[in-house]
Amino acid sequence: MSPTINKTGLPPGTVVYSGYDQNEDVMITLIEFNEKEFIEKEFTNFDECMLHVKPDMVKWINVDGIHNSELIQHIGEKFNIHTLTLEDISHTDQRPKFEEYDNYLVSIMKMLSHDSKTKSEQLSVLLMDKNTVLSFQEVHGGDAFDLIRTRLRSGKGRVRKMGADYLTYCLLDAVVDFYFVILEKVGDRIEDLEEDLVGEPSKQTMKQLHSMKREMIFLRKAVWPLREMINNFERSESKLITKPTRLFLRDVYDHTIRVIDTVESFRDLLSGMMDLYLSSVSNRMNEIMKVLTIITTIFIPLSFIAGVYGMNFKYMPELNGPNSYFYLLGIMLVIAISMIFYFKKKKWL
Amino acid sequence: MSPTINKTGLPPGTVVYSGYDQNEDVMITLIEFNEKEFIEKEFTNFDECMLHVKPDMVKWINVDGIHNSELIQHIGEKFNIHTLTLEDISHTDQRPKFEEYDNYLVSIMKMLSHDSKTKSEQLSVLLMDKNTVLSFQEVHGGDAFDLIRTRLRSGKGRVRKMGADYLTYCLLDAVVDFYFVILEKVGDRIEDLEEDLVGEPSKQTMKQLHSMKREMIFLRKAVWPLREMINNFERSESKLITKPTRLFLRDVYDHTIRVIDTVESFRDLLSGMMDLYLSSVSNRMNEIMKVLTIITTIFIPLSFIAGVYGMNFKYMPELNGPNSYFYLLGIMLVIAISMIFYFKKKKWL
Amino acid sequence: MSPTINKTGLPPGTVVYSGYDQNEDVMITLIEFNEKEFIEKEFTNFDECMLHVKPDMVKWINVDGIHNSELIQHIGEKFNIHTLTLEDISHTDQRPKFEEYDNYLVSIMKMLSHDSKTKSEQLSVLLMDKNTVLSFQEVHGGDAFDLIRTRLRSGKGRVRKMGADYLTYCLLDAVVDFYFVILEKVGDRIEDLEEDLVGEPSKQTMKQLHSMKREMIFLRKAVWPLREMINNFERSESKLITKPTRLFLRDVYDHTIRVIDTVESFRDLLSGMMDLYLSSVSNRMNEIMKVLTIITTIFIPLSFIAGVYGMNFKYMPELNGPNSYFYLLGIMLVIAISMIFYFKKKKWL
Amino acid sequence: MSPTINKTGLPPGTVVYSGYDQNEDVMITLIEFNEKEFIEKEFTNFDECMLHVKPDMVKWINVDGIHNSELIQHIGEKFNIHTLTLEDISHTDQRPKFEEYDNYLVSIMKMLSHDSKTKSEQLSVLLMDKNTVLSFQEVHGGDAFDLIRTRLRSGKGRVRKMGADYLTYCLLDAVVDFYFVILEKVGDRIEDLEEDLVGEPSKQTMKQLHSMKREMIFLRKAVWPLREMINNFERSESKLITKPTRLFLRDVYDHTIRVIDTVESFRDLLSGMMDLYLSSVSNRMNEIMKVLTIITTIFIPLSFIAGVYGMNFKYMPELNGPNSYFYLLGIMLVIAISMIFYFKKKKWL
Amino acid sequence: MSPTINKTGLPPGTVVYSGYDQNEDVMITLIEFNEKEFIEKEFTNFDECMLHVKPDMVKWINVDGIHNSELIQHIGEKFNIHTLTLEDISHTDQRPKFEEYDNYLVSIMKMLSHDSKTKSEQLSVLLMDKNTVLSFQEVHGGDAFDLIRTRLRSGKGRVRKMGADYLTYCLLDAVVDFYFVILEKVGDRIEDLEEDLVGEPSKQTMKQLHSMKREMIFLRKAVWPLREMINNFERSESKLITKPTRLFLRDVYDHTIRVIDTVESFRDLLSGMMDLYLSSVSNRMNEIMKVLTIITTIFIPLSFIAGVYGMNFKYMPELNGPNSYFYLLGIMLVIAISMIFYFKKKKWL
């Protein structure tokens, strides 16, 4: 499914990137703001980035690309991050989870995107202190976060007035909101598929149904632990989370439940559609069999009669009457018509 | 499924209507009552409405139409409502939920109605203080509430003697009671479908079955969170809920459980009916195959015999006997009859 | 399913009968007893009944028929019963439940009976104080209770020595014991059906299977909440329940679990039988197809050969040999026999 | 299923035997032991048995046969056993359970045995005090317990050094260990069945599959409550259970969980085999249909051609060529061969 | 399934090996280390091994082979291990579990390996005190542990700096990490199977599907209790586990959950593939039936016509026209073409 370097046997806490091999540079974005000021800078070197940090502003350091293990390790040392956390950040096959360490809170989750197929990318958000948020993404995606940046730049909304915990909430919220976009697209495809099913299902329909089911299994695996994660976040007694932010976290939690509800409904829908498909295949078979049976049942007895009068017996009295041929054609007609009536009565025609 | 404006990327707490685009005016209904008096007025302007409010009476302000975001925001400011609540009121794809804020309690749920298909509309009820209830509906529906209004006008029942918490209960109760009406109609349709199935199921039956299943998935999604919502309401330790009202809330809770029980039973029934349908399709196929097989099995050997005596060999002694034709017809009859006996024994006839 | 007067819109706590319309009189039975005395009287008027009540005896007032709403209301006033309880007593579509009020305990459940089909009737038992039990039934059923009456009359068992709480237990126990009778009958029918299935399943078998499944859904709906009800009863901290009675309640609870276990086993059995049925239909189809295929495969090539020698070509050398007809018959025999061997090898014969 | 005398209507706590009618005598076995001595005696009279009881030894009184209700009642009086317990001992359709009374602990469970079919027999074990264990079995089975007796006689193991609670544990452990024997046999039969399925499944296979499924339902019903029972035993705070014995009870609990795991795995296996069977039936059908279709499709067009040249038209030019017959045979061969190629391409051959 | 010596009837706590009969010698490996030193020795005699033990180093005594019951018993006496633990170590059909005794902690689990099929071997790890770990394996497998040994030898990672609890964690972690390797292989096989299904499923595919399902049942049985085991380990309040190690145990717990998630996803995938297979078989049947029906429906009426003109009636006027043969061929062509059009319209061609 997803690429996993065989980490087995490495000492626990080893920071090894396990995602797709990427040669691109790592991009570090530093955003600093308070109610009045807003600064945004991009770096490729972390130490340089740290030089620009101002103590009295809220800082969001976003690392795009986690394949540079040395960099991750270096950041970890600077911020005193536990090696297990660093390992989790680098290992892209992580289960969404929230963990509380003495000096920081870490949330790991899947960020979905949708081209022709649903893709997932790992996002780790670390709330370091009242003023600092660290985030790690697999690639330069950012769709979900561009809108937060715009909001920060413009100073709209309450985000500029609040601390790092609220910013963390905003990042989670953006990720969860994006799930709805994905689900809407999936919903549309389900509706299309349903129309196909009610109309003229083909072998292709079945394969699409199956691939939708696969996608649901994939989504479920990403979404269910998310619920627990956000619940743990909300209930965490860490002092890093202020009371107003908790209300907002409760709201993201509700959104997550809604995402789960929708995924489960889709699963139910899809398995209902499976039944519909199978019954439609059976119905089709019945249709085919009916045609075969009607044709066979009408013509086989008639052919038999024709066969009888094609026999070469010396003495077959019927053969000699002047109209017996026409009488026979008449009898055949009667047989055919009564067969048709029989099928009409059985509702096959 | 339902229309959702792409809210992704807007700051959290943004009040944006996400239902069907409606150009109709918003209608605000103010109902004020105590044990002796009853006043009912309609407004299109909220500030005008507030001028008529009397402090010593129980007030129910009902807003029909939630597509005017400015109005919602305006009401929110007047009553000091949290922006997250305002967002939930406007966003019609909400999951039923109960939330407790410092100064009010909010219940959001789905109000069902049934024309030819089950429709759902979002209702938000806010218990502001001992005397004030705010309610927000998507459209001028009101079927469920007309009866409460009638009761208020006539002064029957205990509602005029009690406070805003009891009125809130009445609204919830009316919504849940309406679920039973919907379920009864669904139950009737299921019974009709079942008769069809036992009688002469058609391809149409399957499609109806499928659409009933869809409806159950839809109902489930609305009903299950309702249970949790009412449970949370009942168990809330808010001082806004008086002890006598709690008993009544326990009663609505029981009703909700009954609704859920019924929905689950319907689901079980429907999946049983699916089995019945599939087995009936299979049985039908068997019937068709039997007819085909009987006809084929009787006439094919006979046709073969006729074919043999239709061959043009120079020397075929049987052909020359004067009665051999009639002997052969006799043999054919014997073969046909013994075939029929064979099928009788196999219980195919 | 069951008849429900459209109660929607009536004020909560309205006492309206929602069962089948009954014109029969309501019968009130008063049974009073202590260790030494036993009095049993029937009334049609409640006030008259109350005149006969003696303060120092255990009283069981049983009301047969709950369609007289005024009477229910009247009794409610006499005994100070909450209107919600009165509503629950009258509304026959109630979910089994136990509720604790300040001055009494109420248990509502389904009493099953079995003629040709399982029927259910609502029973409400109110434990009013140490000496008084009120019970309300839909009709003059009483099968389940006749035996308790006999025991009371004869003075056998411990019931005459104990209070109203033990009598309440006896009523519950009688109801649950009757479930076993029903389940035994259902079990017998399942066994009959299973024999049919293993023998010669018909279309009828499937319909019976389906109707058994329906009945299980119905039973489940009655039985699961019963468990919770009796559990709540047993765990209630009300002073009306004495310690020795609690042990007996634990016993009824065990019985209820056994009922549930049996219902669930029956469900599993029935769904296994469904599979058996479907596989038997498929097997049947295979049988039919085999016969068709064998006959067709043997005779169609032979018919073709006969057809070839029935052609009217001028020059067909085979036709002129004196024994070629017999040679051909021989060849046909060889073909037929080798076909049969082929089918034997394929295990079709 | 199992025979149940209609106990409905008897006063609760009535000791009536509900198992198979048995005329055999009841056998009472008294085993007394301490670290040094071991005494084993058989009686048919309980009072006589009680005369042999020595106060300072551990006593195990085993009653084989519970159909003598008077005896049970008599024992109950001697040992001060609650009538509900006596009822449970006599009523053989009991659900496995553990109950704690003031003066004793009672464990009721199913003891399985396996001849050609799995049978079950009820066992009740009462831990009366530090020195006394009472056990009641339906019949003289004892397979499971013979080994405990041997161990007691020989003085091996720790059982002779410990009290009645450890003996109770030994009895439970012996019963649970026997479940594994049963499960192993079931496992073997499942493997046999699986080989049949992969090889040549017959209608008989399906019936065996179904009867295995039934057996699993039966086993489940016996095993799941056992888990709860032993858990309750282990967690009981009764002083009758010493600390070292608790460790052993935890071990039986683990065994029970393993039994449940195995039963559940078997259920999963069996439902997988059901699918395998159904798909194999479908595949078979496909095979049959292919043969039919190939034969029909090759010979029907050829027969038609032969039919054409069997027509008696006056003027049919093809008939007169000297080699036209052979040309036609050639054409037929080409048609047949190209048909076969077509089927090869479609992978039907 | 797995070999189990019939232990029934042996006294509890009897140490009897229940795995495959093995005649190989038992190999005891002693590894001792601290931050500076590392000693590794192999023995076949336990007492000799004990002579080399140094009190101030962390010791890992690994016993390869558990079929020598006397040795196990001997080790048990040396280390004061409860007989139930010794029994669990020897009995290879153990359910994964964690147990806390007064003087040690024991974790029993399944170690998986994968040749052509998934195999499992029992591993018991006992954390005896701050410095001692005992481990028992069925055979000289060690793949999973070789890497830990390498790490110990090289002094990389933190393992040399920490105590026996961390070493225990490392062993658990190695086992769980190996599950991922197995799952990856299974995932690959599922993908292969899926491609087969979408392409050209054969009877073989179904059997592979079934055997994969079996493997999942087997994996589930090993993995689910593992979760509980590690959870119990992590939550144990034993002083043997230091705080830093707890963080690492939480990490293994997360890995276990991921393993479970993956197993469950695979199960879902496999049951979806089952549906895909069945629908593909049905589709195939439809294809076959279509071919049969088309051929039959075209040629049977034509053959009938040919049959009619093959009859030997004296007076059949059509036979005498000079072009009637060609007219008839024309009519036949028209019939055939219109049939083909009919099938085109029905989308069968």
Distances (CA, A) of A279 to A198, A211, B258, E68, E89: 11, 20, 32, 60, 53
Q: Which chains touch E (3 or more CB pairs under 8 A)?
A: A, D
Neighbours of chain C (3+ CB pairs under 8 A): B, D
What distance in Å separates residue D286's CA from the closest CA in chain C? 10
The chain-wide mean pLDDT, for chain C, equals: 87
CA closest to A15 among chain E residues: E157
pLDDT for res B7: 47
Q: 10 Å Cβ neighbour count for E176?
A: 24
Most confident among A90-99, A328-337, B41-50, D192-201 (mean pLDDT): A328-337
Query: CB of B298 within 8 A of CB of B336?
Result: yes
Furthest-apart CA atoms within chain A: distance in Å: 121
Residue B86: CA count within 13 A, CB half-sphere:
22
Residue B272 and residue D118: Cα distance in Å, rounded? 31
Task: Give all chains having 3 or more CB-to-CB distances under 8 Å with chain A.
Answer: B, E
CA A100 remoteness from chain centre: 29
Rounded-to-integer distance, Cα B43 and Cα E226, Å? 65
Cross-chain residue pair D84–C247, CB shorter than 8 Å = yes
Q: pLDDT tens digits, residue range B210-237?
A: 989 988 998 898 889 999 999 999 999 9
Name the pairing type of β-strands D97-100 and C58-64: unpaired
* Span of B246-255, D30-39, E193-202 with lowest mean pLDDT: E193-202
| C-beta atoms of B184 and C282 within 8 A | no
> Percentage of residues in chain D with pLDDT exceeding 90?
48
Backbone angles phi, psi at B64, to 5 degrees: -95, 110
Which pLDDT does position A321 carry in this prediction? 86
The predicted-structure confidence for C122-178, as pLDDT tens digits, reads as follows 999 999 988 999 999 987 655 678 888 888 888 877 888 888 999 999 999 999 988
Which residues on B lie below 8 Å from C276 (Cβ)?
none
Element (H, E) at E120: strand E118-129
Measured between CB atoms, which of A147, A280, A296 is closest to B292?
Answer: A296
Interface with E, mutate which of D308, D332, D339 (most E CBs under 10 A)? D308
Which residue in chain D is spatially nearest to C310 when comparing CA positions?
D310
Residue of C nearest to D284 (CA): C286
Nearest to C285 among D7, D94, D285 (CB): D285
Q: Measure in Å the smallest separation between the Cα of E76 and chain A Cα atoms.
A: 30
Radius of gyration, CA atoms only, chain E = 34
Instruction: Centre a 10 Å sphere on the Cβ of residue A179 and count the other Cβ atoms it contains.
Output: 25
Are C177 and D8 an interchain contact pair (Cβ–Cβ within 8 Å)? yes
The two structure tokens encoding residue E19: 């795995």
Choose the closest CB to B159 out of C11, C214, C302: C11
pLDDT digits (tens, 9 = 90+) for B308-338: 999 999 888 889 888 999 999 999 999 999 9
Cβ <8 Å between E347 and A200:
yes
Q: Which of B84, B214, B281 sits opposite A269 (nearest CB)?
A: B214
Identify the closest residue of chain C to B311 by CA–CA distance.
C310
| Beta strands, E only, chain C | 27-33, 38-43, 58-64, 97-100, 105-114, 118-129, 132-137
**Helix, strand, coil distribution of chain B in percent, nearest 5:** 55, 15, 30
Of A170, A257, A269, nearest to B95 by CB-CB distance is A257
C249 has a pLDDT exceeding 50: yes
| Mean pLDDT in residue range B110-121 | 79
- Nearest chain B alpha carbon to C301: B304
DSSP codes of every residue in A29-88: EEEEE-SS-EEEEEES-HHHHHHT--TTSEEEEEEE----HHHHHHHHHHHT--HHHHHH
Identify all chain A residues contacting B8, using CB atoms and an 8 Å cutoff: 144, 147, 174, 177-178, 180-181
Phi-psi label, residue C142: left if phi above 0, alpha if psi -120 to 50, beta otherwise: left
Chain B: partners with 3+ C-beta pairs within 8 Å:
A, C
Closest residue by Cα to residue D27 from D118, D139, D124: D139
CB D117 within 8 A of CB D44: no
Contact partners, residue B231, CB within 8 Å, separation at least 6: B253
Q: Is C243 or C114 the better-scoring residue by pLDDT?
A: C243
Q: Is A309 in Cβ contact with E311 (below 8 Å)?
A: yes
C8, B180: Cβ pair inside 8 Å? yes
CA distances from A249 to A60, A106, A168, A216, A243 (A): 19, 15, 10, 25, 10
C-alpha distance from D217 to closest chain C C-alpha (Å): 6
Q: CB D303 to CB E302 under 8 A?
A: no
**Touching chains, D (3+ CB pairs < 8 A):** C, E
* Calpha distance C327→C338 (Å, rounded): 17
pLDDT digits (tens, 9 = 90+) for D119-162: 788 999 999 988 999 999 887 655 678 888 888 888 877 888 88
**Where are the alpha helices (H) located in A309-349, listed in sequence order?**
324-345
pLDDT tens per residue across span D57-91: 999 999 988 888 889 999 999 999 999 999 999 88
Q: What is the pLDDT of residues A111-139, one digit of tens each?
A: 887 776 777 889 999 999 889 999 999 87
Select, from the ranges A92-96, B143-147, C104-108, the one with the highest average predicted confidence (pLDDT): C104-108
Residue A21's pLDDT band (cuts 50, 70, 90): low
Please tell me which residue of chain A has the smallest CA distance to E156. Answer: A11
Identify the pLDDT of residue B178.
87
D36 Cα to chain C: minimum distance (Å): 41
pLDDT tens-place values along chain E, 349 residues long: 343 444 454 566 666 666 555 566 788 999 999 888 899 999 988 999 998 888 889 999 999 888 888 899 999 999 999 999 999 998 888 889 999 998 999 999 998 877 767 778 899 999 998 899 999 998 765 567 888 888 888 887 788 888 899 999 999 999 998 899 889 989 999 999 988 888 778 878 888 899 899 889 988 988 899 999 999 999 999 999 998 899 999 999 999 999 999 999 999 999 899 888 988 888 888 889 999 999 999 999 999 999 999 999 988 888 988 899 999 999 999 999 999 999 999 888 7
Give the residue from chain B lying closest to C271, CA to CA. Answer: B272
- Point out the residue among D158, D265, D292 whose CB comes nearest to the CB of E217: D265
Cα angle value A240/A241/A245 (rounded, 5°): 150
Residue E125's DSSP bridge partners are E107, E135
Is A325–E307 a contact, with Cβ atoms under 8 angstroms apart? no
Which residue of D86, D102, D288 to mutate against C (max C Cβ within 10 Å)? D288
Facing residue for E313 by CB, picked from A210, A312, A325: A325
Mean pLDDT of chain B: 87
In chain D, which residues have their Cβ closer than 8 Å to the Cβ of C272? Answer: 210, 213-214, 217
C-beta atoms of B265 and C300 within 8 A: no
Site from A1, A89, A268, A332 to mutate, E interface, most E CB atoms within 10 angstroms: A1
The alpha-carbon gap from D81 to the nearest alpha carbon of chain E, in Å, equals: 30
Contact list, D207 vs chain C (CB under 8 Å): 198, 276
D/E interface, count of CB pairs below 8 Å: 152
Q: What gap in Å lies between CA E237 and CA E229, rounded to an integer? A: 14
Helices (H) and strands (E) in chain A, counts: 8, 7
- The answer to whether D328 contacts C313, with C-beta atoms less than 8 Å apart, is yes
Q: How far is CA C281 from the centre of its chain?
A: 27
Q: In the sheet where C118-129 sits, what is the strand order?
A: C38-43, C27-33, C58-64, C132-137, C118-129, C105-114, C97-100
What's the distance, CA D345 to chain centroid? 50
Are residues B295 and A296, on separate chains, in Cβ contact within 8 Å? yes
Other C-beta atoms lying within 10 Å of the C-beta of residue A301: 20
The per-residue pLDDT for D4 is 40
Q: Helix, strand, or coil here: B233?
A: helix
The pLDDT score that the predictor gives to residue E16 is 62
Query: Edge-to-edge strand order for the sheet containing B58-64?
Result: B38-43, B27-33, B58-64, B132-137, B118-129, B105-114, B97-100
pLDDT at C5: 40
A143 pLDDT above the threshold of 60: yes
φ/ψ (deg, to 5) at C346: -80, 0
pLDDT at A141 over 80: no
For residue A314, the distance in angstroms to the closest alpha carbon of chain B comes to 5
Reading the block at residue E237, the tokens are 């309040």
Which amino acid belongs to residue D308? V
C30-81 pLDDT tens trace: 999 988 889 999 998 899 999 888 888 999 999 988 888 889 999 999 999 9
Q: How far is CA A7 from the centre of its chain?
A: 27
- The SS3 of residue B116 is coil
Q: Residue B186 is inside which H or E element, if any?
A: helix B164-198
Instruction: Please report residues of D whose CB lies closer than 8 A to that of C250.
Output: 99
Place of tokens 């009870």: D249
A246, A279, A299, A319: which to substitute to probe chain B, counting the most B Cβ within 10 Å?
Answer: A279
Position A2 scores a pLDDT of 40
Residue of C nearest to B189 (CA): C1
d(CA D100, CA D115): 34
E273 token code pair: 């593939």
Query: B46: distance to nearest CA of chain C, Å?
Result: 28
Nearest to B285 among C97, C217, C285 (CB): C285
- Do the beta carbons of residue D151 and residue E11 sit within 8 Å? yes
Q: Indicate the SS3 state at residue B30.
A: strand
Non-local (6+) Cβ contacts of C168 within 8 A are C105, C107, C125, C127, C133
E6-65 pLDDT, tens digit each = 445 456 666 666 655 556 678 899 999 988 889 999 998 899 999 888 888 999 999 988
Shortest distance between the Cα of B32 and any Cα of chain C, in A, equals 18
Q: What is the pLDDT of residue C348?
A: 82
Strands D132-137 and D118-129: antiparallel
